Chain A
Amino acid sequence: MDEPKYVPKPDGADPIATRLVAELKHDRGILACKYDPANQFLFAGARDYFVHRWDLRKEPVLEPPADPKKKPRYPPVPAAPADSRLEMAEHQSWVGGMALFSDGDRMATGDFVGQLIIWTNRAGTPKPLFSFEAHKGSIRKVAVSPDGNLVASVGNDGAVRIWHSDAAEKLHQELLGHDCHVYHVAFHPDGKSLISADLKGRIKHWDVESGKLVRDIDASLLHTYSLKYEVDVGGIRGMTFNADGSQLACAGAAGDDKGIAHSGDARVLLFDWESGELLKELRHEKKEVCTAWGVQFHPDGFIIASGGSRTGGFLWFWKPEEEVAFHRLKFRQRAPGFDVDLAPDNKTLAVADHDGTIRLYEMAPEPEQEPEEQTGTAKA
């Protein structure tokens, strides 16, 4: 007998059993999604000028398949139609950066023309507290410090900026060091360090208080220069710390240029924070031309990433000690999941999909159904 690939913890998540449970419909590709810590709302940025908010309590779950042996219908039919979506209008371009404060009230969003907005009353009728041009050109990502006092933003202008969240003023003049588009930013859980990551796969570690550069971490495996297309390809698309801040995961793609300026197959690089050492190059056993876009650590100790390409979209699951994913879920739609967020219940995943839908997946087996009573239809 083969050993099971993953044994769920008691009462823990069961990634191998991951299944689609709900679809939040929109008509534009979704770029980012975030759960509200109270598990009531889901926020998203899309290829339009709004921040979107769904009320999860009002969203129906999908009808369970009538015959569990049959393939579920696609598209799945919700039990009841509902649209709890609220459009928060203020941005002048797509919203790709999004971070929630733990105070239950505020959130920060950034758009593709450099506007950064700090919203208040996110659970009620949200309105902007501050709205200002934080970058010249696109903001790629924003992050909020654990204590909620600071907001960090990065963008195509190569700048990394830290703002006082209560005054929309810069904490430091400028954090200089990147020479290309900066794609991602994250605070360390201790709140003292900030990391920013760019197109060329370079990670910069900044001291928050002094604004000084502490060190560089090399994730350039996730970058290629395409000779044919004369353009840099790849970059760090997803980036996150684990809960205690001992490990850092960076998502993207690695390998040779595959022709139409694609940098290779999906990768998550796992770093030891203390030493900056690359611990593992997480991949799938099958090479596929696609990119890992979003990455999350699960408290049960495994790592989740979402991604794909036009040929297929995926969720991958790794144990940190094994390079090859122990499970992969292939989406029914042929499109990448651009972002993945873990619900506060630690059982549900929200995936931001290119096709304009947020899909919720539960990492648990189908609840056992009451066995139906045998009726007297059996052949005599």
Chain B
Amino acid sequence: MVFSPTTRSRVLIATAIVVTSMLSASSHAAEVPLHELIDQRIDASLAKQKLTAAAPASDAEFMRRVYLDLTGTIPDSKTARAFIEDVDVLKRTKLIDQLLASENYGTHMATVFDVMLMERRPDKYVTTPEWRTFLAESFGANKPLNVLVAEILGADGVDEKLRPAAKFYLDRAVAKDLLVRDIGRLFLGVDLQCAQCHDHPEIDDYLHQHYHGLSVFIAGSKTFKQPDGKFVLQEVVMREVEFASVFEPDKTNKTGPRLLDALMEVPEVKEGEEYVEKPSRTVRSVPKFSLRKLLSERLPSKDTPEFARSMANRLWAMLMGRGIVHPLDMHHSDNPPSHPELLNDLAVRLSATKYDVKAFLRELTLSNTYQRSSFIPEELDPESLPEDSFAVANMKGLSPEQLFDSLLVGTHASAVLEQQIDEALEEESAEVAAKAVEKPDADKPAPEEPDAEKIAEARRAKRAARVTEFVTMFGSVPGQPEGEFAASLPQALFLANSETLSGWVPAKLGNLTEQLTGLDDSTTIADELYLSVLSRMPEDDERTLVKEHLEAGKADRPKAVAALVWSLLASAEFRLNH
């Protein structure tokens, strides 16, 4: 297959990358730009494996990918067309910069990190909107990643400004085992779960003492209910924990706080002087020396190289569809990185740039590795091509949020969604009114006229409920990381028949189907359809298919168009970030 309209600009882009690379190379003479370094490492490994890299992605392919990766949604058809037609040789770099500077970048990263760090656990003490706002502001302002993680690991929930950061602890109910496991997995890249009761049965690197050493940081912390009803964290003094293997229950061991093999010193404090606030039922206990604070200082820092490695690997995986260490929480010697030097470079650069996430993502997206097509070259056998070669762009399933937003953009159905929300709210208030008539409650004052803010809040809640529908259907199990792409029967039934999506497809309120139905020429229809849904121009045979289908269905044009729209929304090309 040939993407004819884009061949020319692809060549131009290749030149553009060289130019920008040279510019940055000259200003930092000592240092090769990271995106070049990435390509050097990957190319060398491809050469060694005798693998041919895929061709660069077409403009359309690149654009859809980078939109989804940096802003969480596909571009609308106008934007897509403009980008494809743009002849500026620097347009890819400009787009990357534009997207990184956009508001959607912050909100998308907030979703990504919320899902990564909270794994879709139900809210307990800190709401998801509060937490996401905190994350969105952090990423929007490009707060260094180590600072953000220190805020999260050091949070006690008392300081209003940083309270959302305490969600990580609070909404896990400060449950020790859960936190040890998740801190290990999410910030250090090691899943110590199986080392909880004994040395890991299969992974030699994961020791029983690693688990318990990490647990010392958390073992003294628990929730405290403030007089105002808010739950915050408190901490009692803890120096070490005792543990015994289930296989040798009589042999007990001890460890102080440790981050894997690094054992930390805990300063001696005189007995009776350990506390700022002593433990009691009514007061939040605060020790003079907080192990949680120690954790927040030592984990996201140079002292703990696993942190930078794990974070670099996670950000890489977010864009490249697969970690250099994979699974992301399985950093150990029996599961070596596919590109050890590259992972090292990424970690070093991430920490050398003071954990500047935007700069890091910019370099990754500028690389040829990122900008490759997912289209497998003739020379390669698709069945035997290793996934960790990065010879071809790895395809990623859209997250539930990406799917929701992209379906909405693709169908131009914002107005329809608004109407669905209105109808749901009206139905609700009608029910309430009917109940009030049926069973008047004398004690209850008559309901007040809802003010604008309340209405807006109700609308947000209704919209969130629709997103939740997608999350339940397409998201991972609460407490489980988002897995690789998987398809299920209930998902297919949902996309085919659910009320939400089948409300967005039929011609209505200026949505895509209605717009297309109003057009005469089948080529124009095909172009607008493909640009809207798949963010690319159709091929000739696709234009022909559209033409034939519309002719066959001319008795009921709106429905024939609706069938076309649905077929692309439900296609693998739409469902995947390719």
Are A and B direct contacts in the complex by CB distance below 8 Å? no
